[in-house]
Amino acid sequence: MDDIYRTSMLLDFYGQLLTERQYEILDLHCNNDYSLGEIAQQLNISRQGVFDNVKRAKTALDGLEDKLGLVKKFAEQKKEAEEILLCLGKIDKEVLDQQNRRIFDTIEDKIKVIISNS
């Protein structure tokens, strides 16, 4: 997982636990692709101030993930759902009766929703 994507995921899971300022700065940096200079100019603070806030926020997010592990668990569950979908794809639906085929299709659709919402 690349650094920006990982930080963005951590921000989605734990962002509300940061200070408002840290959240705002990290959101601009990761989710809106602002440079440190652009953030500094927009918020009327120094580039060093932005850098320090980004560093502190990332450290806080990493600490929360180390303790709670929600992003890791989320990624593992998504991977498991994708593997279930692959296994379902190996089943010959033609041998199923109509009722079981509908159940199969419902299960497949629900797993696809889980994956797409991840």
Query: Across residues 22-26, what is the average pLDDT?
Result: 97
Tokens, residue 6: 């990982």
Q: What is the mean pLDDT of residues 102-109?
A: 94
H-run or E-run covering 3: helix 3-14
Residue 111 vs residues 71, 96, 108: alpha-carbon distances, Å = 19, 19, 5
Asked whether the whole model's pTM tops 0.95, one would answer no
- State the Cα–Cα distance between residues 76 and 70, nearest whole angstrom: 10
Question: What's the average model confidence in pLDDT over 17-39?
Answer: 96
| pLDDT tens-place string over residues 82-98 | 999 999 999 998 899 99
Q: What is the DSSP letter of 96?
A: S
Residue 99 pLDDT > 90: yes
Number of alpha carbons in the 13 Å side-chain half-sphere of residue 98:
0
